[in-house]
Amino acid sequence: MILFGILALLALVFAVFMVATRNAVHSALFLIGNFVILAILYITLGAEFLGLAQILVYAGAVMVLFLFVIAYLSAGTEASETGPALAWQLPLGIAAGVLSLGLLLWGTLGAVLTPTAAPPHFGSLAFLGRALFTTYLFPFEITAFLLLAALVGVVVLVRDER
C-alpha cells in the first residue's frame, strides 16, 4: 500500500506538471513519465498485460506519434499568447474542470462505498480480448476514429497557409 500511494502521488505530480508546463515537448515528456508510472501501478495490482501494453502502446507508439506531430508543427518552440478573442475559454475550462472533478469523485466514492467482486479471470488476456472484440468493439473503433480526427484537426489548425 505504501508503494501504491507513493506511485499514485508521483502520477498526480507528473499529471499536474504535464498540464502546467507551457512547452509542448516538455508536456509530452511528462505524459510519458505518467504513462510509465501508470504501467508500474498496473503491474503492482497484478495486471501484467495491461502494464506492458501501457508501456508498449502508449509510452511507445502513441507518444512517438505525438512527438512527431509536435516536431512537424513546431508547436514546442513558443508558448501561444491568449488574446481577447479567447477570453471566454478560461471560465469554460474552469467549469469543465470542476465538472470533471465532480464526476470523478462521484464515480470513485460510488465504487468505494459499493465494492463489487471482479469476475473470475478478470485480468487475463483471454478475458480482455473477448471483452474488447465483442462487448466493447464499437467504443474501441469510435475511440480510434476520434483520435485520428483529433490528429487531422491539429494538423489543419496549425499548418501555415501556402
Q: Looking at the 3D structure of the chain, how many domains does it have?
A: 2
Residue 14 maps to a domain: yes
Chain mean position to CA 108: 18
Would you write out the chain's pLDDT as a tens digit for each of its 162 residues? 888 889 989 999 999 999 898 888 888 889 889 999 999 988 888 788 888 888 888 878 888 778 777 777 765 455 555 556 677 778 888 898 899 899 888 888 877 777 777 777 776 778 878 888 899 899 889 988 988 888 888 788 777 655
Residue 114 maps to a domain: no
Residue 136 maps to a domain: yes
Of 49, 78, 107, which residue is a domain's last? 78
Domain extent, residue 151, equals 122-162
Residue 34 maps to a domain: yes
Q: Distance between CA atoms of 148 and 138, rounded to whole angstroms? A: 15
The residue written with cell numbers 480510434 in the block is 144
143 and 73 in one domain? no
CA end-to-end distance (rounded Å), the chain: 56
Residue 103 maps to a domain: no
Task: Please give the pLDDT value at position 14.
Answer: 92
Do 8 and 41 form a contact (C-beta atoms < 8 A)?
yes
Residue 92 maps to a domain: no
Residue 101 maps to a domain: no
Task: Please give the pLDDT value at position 81.
Answer: 55
Give the CB-side neighbour count of residue 38, counting CA atoms within 13 A: 18
128 and 59 in one domain? no
Task: Please give the pLDDT value at position 153.
Answer: 82
Of 63, 78, 93, which residue is a domain's last? 78
CATH of the domain at 74: 1.20.120.1200
Residue 115 maps to a domain: no
Task: Please give the pLDDT value at position 80.
Answer: 54
CA dist 12 to 30, 35, 42, 71, 85, Å? Answer: 11, 11, 15, 26, 32
Task: Please give the pLDDT value at position 77.
Answer: 56
